[in-house]
Amino acid sequence: MKKDAKILVVDDNKEILVAIEMLLSNYFGIIKTAKNPNLIPSIIGNELFDVIILDMNYSAGISSGNEGIYWMNEILKVDPDAIIVFITAYGDFELAVKAIREGGTDFIQKPWDDEKFITTIENAYKLKKSNIEISNLRQKQQHLNEDISNQFPEIIGKSDAIKDVFKTIHKVAKTDANVLILGENGTGKELIAREIHKKSNRSKEVFINLDVSALPESLFESELFGYVKGAFTDAKSDKPGKLELANGGTLFLDEIGNLSFTAQSKLLTVLQNREISRLGANYKIPIDIRLVCATNKDIHEMMNEEKFREDLLYRINTIQINVPPLRDRVGDVELLMNYFKDLYESKYNKEILKVHKSVIDKLNKYNWPGNIRELRHIVEKAVILCEDNVLNESDFWFGLSKKESVVDTLDLSQNEKRIILKAIEKNKGNYSSAAKDLGVSRKTLYNKMKKYGLE
């Protein structure tokens, strides 16, 4: 059976080109030939080749091999991963060593033995495929390591509202249907996307996450499609995009409602054709992904207002999952609170034996505008502030929402601790900036942190 390979042959002898094309066409898919080496830049600028067979001498009476090495270097400028097999009528060991040392893969001497010729090209093709696999594995392993380093807990809950979500996940996971996850900020949309991936037939492949809202439009294409060296000023080397890295696995596009109309059109084209082009490249790369998208926006209303393409919406929401807000998940608040309590007890080396009943009542009555993310932050702060082995109401500080404007407690020391924590959190742990926001010196901030056990 023919191998699905593209071979380029460059030789100034037409009879040689015809002979090689006839020989290789029985074993490989596409054989392209060129008699003039000056055509090489335009040919490889438009297509990717698995193996390039390159004559070493093109001028009459020249046998140094320098012409072939020159063209090899020109090829490697465009495609640093090119596999190049030299061919010459003036083969000798020193010339072969020189060519391979300069970047060639192998060497064939004219006249050749057909069987050896085929074996050489087959081995070169295997090397090309192996190099591609290794490169992709390295990129995917990097993402897998990043995932492992982060903590993605299981979805916790027993409420009827979350059970409905579990049922949908179970039904859709084993298919390759595209999924759209809708829900407010902080409801756990990414966890649901990861759960779909974990239960899918692609679970052993990579899960790639791209937060659309965190990218300026100018960077969206390079992140999604990747680019080749020289595509723009800072493109110092080839880089695969998220679509290419997710090949065989799952791509999660978070906050897809933030996509511009231009980006929507390009994503739609990818989903229709199942292939991409890196920025700066004219060749196509086939992709096989499972797409899961999420947004906190009313994307159907956006479609009605012509802010989101109708055809793209139909493509991405073969199955739609609506994630309930925490306030609608009756009974789940206590479960989640205990989970986060245990998590932060371990993190901050604290031992908290129980939670006062009044705390549970208070948490259940709260509206949770920030959903699970807000609950997690509140529990973390409470564990930090707790001064004994019981979590009390005074340990919990609810950030003021649009519906709230009252101070939770009038205790001066408790409020000071909370304001300090808020300043540190706002400034991402930068104590100098936090002190500046608080209107105190850095030394004063340290003293107060020591006083309240916040070091």
The domain locations on the chain are 3-130, 151-324, 330-451
User: Which string of b and e fits 334-361 if b means at least 16 CB within 10 Å?
Assistant: eebbebbbebbeeeeeeebeebeeebee
Residues 134-163 have a mean pLDDT of 71
Which one of 3.40.190.80, 3.40.630.30, 3.30.300.210, 3.40.50.2300 gives the CATH number of domain 3-130? Answer: 3.40.50.2300
- % of the chain with per-residue pLDDT over 90: 46
pLDDT score of 376: 92
**pLDDT > 70? residue 51:** yes
The average confidence (pLDDT) of the chain is 85
Of 4-18, 143-157, 190-204, 225-239, the one with minimum mean pLDDT is 143-157
Residue 317 or residue 63, greater confidence: 317
| Spatial distance between the Cα atoms of 230 and 280, rounded to a whole number of angstroms | 7
Helix (H) / strand (E) element for 172: namely: helix 160-172
Of 238-252, 283-297, 369-383, 440-454, the one with minimum mean pLDDT is 440-454
Residue 201 or residue 416, greater confidence: 201
Task: Say if 3-130 and 151-324 have the same CATH topology.
Answer: yes
Residues 71-89 have a mean pLDDT of 88
**pLDDT > 80? residue 407:** no
- 151-324: CATH superfamily: P-loop containing nucleotide triphosphate hydrolases (3.40.50.300)
Q: Tokens at residue 20, please?
A: 């090689």
- Identify the architecture of domain 330-451 in CATH: Orthogonal Bundle (1.10)
Of 104-118, 244-258, 362-376, 407-421, the one with minimum mean pLDDT is 407-421
**pLDDT > 90? residue 337:** yes
At residue 404 the predicted structure's pLDDT band, cuts being 50, 70 and 90, is very low
Whether the model clears a pTM of 0.95, i.e. scores above it, the answer is no
Largest CA distance in the chain: 96
